[in-house]
Amino acid sequence: MKLPEALDQATRFRAELLKDTGETISVEKVARVEQAAVIELPAAQLSRGEYALKLFVVKSDGTEERINGSYFLSVK
């Protein structure tokens, strides 16, 4: 997932995967590679369907701010 250029290199992230049924899966394993975020999510947590991935910046004080936009994927 491409990140906004204005983010500091030390920025931490958290992601949420929202399934078309309304179920939300929190994703804590988010790594940064240059200007992209890479998530790690076990395949066993995914069933067939449509998903929207939302990305959040975790600030040093623990508060979070959502990065605008969503990333969509399908599992078949």
Nearest 10 degrees: CA dihedral of 32, 38, 39, 43? -150
Sequence spans of domains, the chain: 12-75
pLDDT of residue 41: 83
Q: What CA–CA distance (Å, rounded) separates 49 from 11?
A: 31
Query: What residues are paired with 49 via a beta bridge?
Result: 75
Per residue in 11-42, pLDDT (tens digit) is 788 899 999 999 998 887 888 788 778 888 88
Domain 12-75 fold? Immunoglobulin-like (2.60.40)
CB 16 within 8 A of CB 27: yes
What global pTM score does this model have?
0.76
CA 1 to chain centre: 8
